[in-house]
Structure 1
């Protein structure tokens, strides 16, 4: 059966040792975020995720959401779980204390979000979308809008959505047709249909705040003519409580491959009352605030699935008796040995472990820089962090969700035939993980964003935020004999990344198809190098602690790093060869032959 225990020990390693908790405390808003406070938050989050959310994961998947007469009911137990979650203050973890939030750093909330996604990815969709709406309103809303909506979203009384996609347009939001006509009182009448709206309708909160992309009558064509509007399900009364029903309704819910306990809705806006958020025709700027937060969050979903899949696979590999070790019986008193003794099973488990722990380091590193991007007082440090987060967001989203699917499939493989059976709980991870590679911009779009936007920005300015510190670290670490077996393969992979970057920059200028053809392999190459850099740093932290009371943890950390460098990082050679071959083999293929 599927199992889950919050990986608090490894989270503490990442937060305290790898990243240095004192770094976050440098930022004025977080000076009171002590180690004791972080430990308490992580421990309590672990208890909620293990004891409240995880027990509903399978039942929620089997029951799904119910749609009747325009009303969506979440699966049995979800409303009670949400009440517990809300009452514990978890909906406001990263929200400003001025609006009733906890004001915790992004790096801490990311670790909690990972636990939520491991325990119950469907449940995590409801508060997760709300935080994106909160960030957009906080950044671009009027003071009146912020005073009305942000405390309600932070408290979890109200939830939020992102209403972007329409039946005829997904990635190309310039094709949006939903229209907004002005009323005399400064509000607008919003009409149109949105699809694939996560948490668009449900029974968990008293109100749902929709952030909707629409066009004003005088809007220029394309994305330069899109505005953002806040459209509540119930129109707030003067005292801030929900009033009359607005002209927005759920037309249906989707029947999906996974995350079945998360309502995915068709939303119909029929002259619904809404209010402009930000400037007219500047809605994409505000929407990207939501999308970038969501993309990091989706990457963490992939990470959460990895952790849960790994734990389930390890538990099964210890218990399942099949065959004998190739070198002779490891358990002669039993009829067979646990499958943990077999090299191929160990290969799968170590692959799962190395990607999971490496993904946690990568997501936490990016989240730590997000704290500096949002809170640093030094303009130079703030700008550096903003560039870094912009560069790494598509990598975190695409790499961790690709690996989430790969690791979930490995989990099924470890179980063999039992993994394919619903009762064992592993096949759900495969189904749940799959959507993360698609929504908030498919992973192919993330790769195009990386090579088409992030690489050329400021003549490679964003790239330097990664390349320079990694290059300097490699030069320094080369002098440490204890690190040589890890640094040397990293250095070789890093050179491949530099050469691939130059190739794309040169070829892409003359033929955009060259950059497009290389994009997915380049993103994977970049992500594996970034993970390799963090694995060397992890070894550096662990290498002098292997004989202490917690020595087994640090020895396992080093051994996992060794597997990563010997068995996983070599992929960069094949990725490099593939992308350097150019676009010809795919673009010269005749269309009619497909």
Structure 2
């Protein structure tokens, strides 16, 4: 079989139109009142065509070729990548969610997220280059000086220029307070906020390449009077090419040789007194950069979703083609999955219960996570565009709560679920020709960059739940319980309603217990790591509660589908998730309640 992609357009539209009822929400926003489901569907259809016809053929070849550096040190991307990027720009795709005042199409981020899922599924390494455009656009639009906005925003929106995010240094990975890149005021350059930036950065995706004429670097740095730690971080806009056309004094000093995403140029960058401009206020760069980082975290979560979809659908096709042994299955299962008159005595491995488990797990997780990720994008849309100020504030709180879950859970399952899909291929999955081994390699990085998944768990528990006494979490759980109430009106949906209510109750109880344990100053002083010990389990407990909501909401929406066989199959997959996947939450909530259990110290081997 060949590694192929069939965009899940029907499920995407089902989630957008039926589960989330986004077109109804668009009508409440003045700039989207003319956007309807059919127009959105046409955009998705064209995005699917571009992904499969333009990007998928470059995926394996780009992985094999990787990026190289020419005699001058300039980075070259794999063959076909520049032409594909030109086609992407000519199609207007970079401008999809950007404001019309800067040349954008002004469409919802939700639609951009769905298109991005398809691009990643077909070629993550290529998609890495335009991935940071929207985050850079939001950061510059929100914090840069008008002169810099006028100079570069329209070029970024059109895709004529690309962007890079320069945070990490050899000694400063997750702890950005340790960074040492310096910036000093530049009196020789007549512009407000002009700087000279000096330092070295590593792991810079798209730091240099041959896809665009210019690359706008957003660089975290320190001014001479900077206080220590993260309180002293500023943000500078440092272009590869200056407004006068001269090359800036910055260069790629090396390319990382990586486990996966070989077609993505991961650069070590050196800034040697490079010209730049301060973005935002001095020493407030981290807050400005978070606009870019939060956008990137949603996109990274979509990487996990895309890999799970891609690996799952290819494993499913293979499982129906591969004949091995006769399966011991119930007659109705055989009748549903094996055509009458099949000549071979052997059965497709898809019939075997072990394979059905593996494939149903991947399908149920993929479809539930699509609902969760798209809901996060919808919340961002509502938070920035809805006319009701109270609703905007509420939506942004929900988006902040969902973002670390989307980033951590979807990337975890993107890798481990792709591993499950590889297992379906058996030995063929371990060889290059099948395609799934590349997907597994490419998926692994998403658990690490844009804040490791462990940091996402800490961010969720400490900064999103405990910091406000669980108020934002209460808003989320209220929404989920409203879905349970809707499901209770239909007897056929009772199992979904019951599961969702139970998981919401577990979440409330575990959160209350954790708050009580960590609230008093004496207990915190005696055990400062208490919350940190269970942060990962807390994230997974909440993730399962969100799964319960996605299963219930999808099953309820399926009752309105006129295509009965499709709706029945969807409901059965959601019921599989309730019966076989949700029970794992008990392990995580048990550990959260056992927060007082000690975590031993480590000892180096002798």
Counterpart CA distance in 1 for 2:441 and 2:462 is 31
Cα deviation per residue 1:267-316 (whole Å; 9 max; x = unaligned)?
00000000011111110110111100100110011011111011110110
Aligned counterpart, 2:87:
84
Residue 229 (structure 1) aligned with residue 236 (structure 2): yes
Aligned counterpart, 1:498:
508
Given candidates 24, 27, 35, the residue that maps to 1:25 is: 27
Counterpart CA distance in 2 for 1:490 and 1:462 is 18
Given candidates 433, 440, 448, the residue that maps to 1:430 is: 440
Cα deviation per residue 1:499-543 (whole Å; 9 max; x = unaligned)?
221222222332331211111111011111112112101111112
Aligned counterpart, 2:205:
198
1:497 to partner: Cα distance: 1.4
Q: Structure 1: which 4+ aligned runs deviate by more than 6 Å? A: none
Cα deviation per residue 1:350-383 (whole Å; 9 max; x = unaligned)?
0010011111100111111110111122211111
Residue 258 (structure 1) aligned with residue 260 (structure 2): yes
Aligned counterpart, 1:240:
none
Given candidates 348, 354, 366, the residue that maps to 1:356 is: 366
1:337 to partner: Cα distance: 1.4
Residue 390 (structure 1) aligned with residue 406 (structure 2): no
Tell me if the contact between 2:483 and 2:553 (Cα under 8 Å) persists in the aligned partners.
no
Counterpart CA distance in 2 for 1:571 and 1:512 is 28
Tell me if the contact between 2:28 and 2:387 (Cα under 8 Å) persists in the aligned partners.
no
1:70 to partner: Cα distance: 1.6
Give the root-mean-square deviation of aligned CA atoms. Answer: 1.5
Aligned pairs (5 A) from 1:506-525: 506-509=516-519, 510=524, 511-525=527-541
Counterpart CA distance in 2 for 1:413 and 1:537 is 30
Aligned counterpart, 1:526:
542
Cα deviation per residue 1:122-153 (whole Å; 9 max; x = unaligned)?
11111111221111001111222111111101
Aligned pairs (5 A) from 1:337-486: 337-486=347-496
Cα deviation per residue 1:445-492 (whole Å; 9 max; x = unaligned)?
000001111012333221122012223332453343121121212222
Other structure's SS at 2:529 match:
helix
1:335 to partner: Cα distance: 4.5
Other structure's SS at 2:97 match:
coil
Residue 308 (structure 1) aligned with residue 310 (structure 2): yes
Counterpart CA distance in 1 for 2:552 and 2:481 is 13
Aligned counterpart, 2:10:
9
1:589 to partner: Cα distance: 3.8
Other structure's SS at 2:276 match:
strand
C-alpha spacing 1:111/1:265, structure 2 compared with 1 (3 Å): same
Residue 37 (structure 1) aligned with residue 8 (structure 2): no
Tell me if the contact between 2:296 and 2:450 (Cα under 8 Å) persists in the aligned partners.
yes
Given candidates 119, 125, 128, the residue that maps to 1:122 is: 125
Tell me if the contact between 1:181 and 1:188 (Cα under 8 Å) persists in the aligned partners.
yes
Counterpart CA distance in 2 for 1:92 and 1:359 is 26
Residue 189 (structure 1) aligned with residue 190 (structure 2): no
Aligned counterpart, 1:569:
582
Tell me if the contact between 2:182 and 2:222 (Cα under 8 Å) persists in the aligned partners.
yes
Aligned counterpart, 2:219:
212
Other structure's SS at 1:210 match:
strand
Aligned counterpart, 1:53:
55
Aligned counterpart, 1:163:
166
Counterpart CA distance in 1 for 2:291 and 2:419 is 32
Cα deviation per residue 1:415-469 (whole Å; 9 max; x = unaligned)?
0000000110001111111000000000000000011110123332211220122
Q: Structure 2: 5+ residue runs without aligned partners?
A: none
Tell me if the contact between 1:131 and 1:160 (Cα under 8 Å) persists in the aligned partners.
no
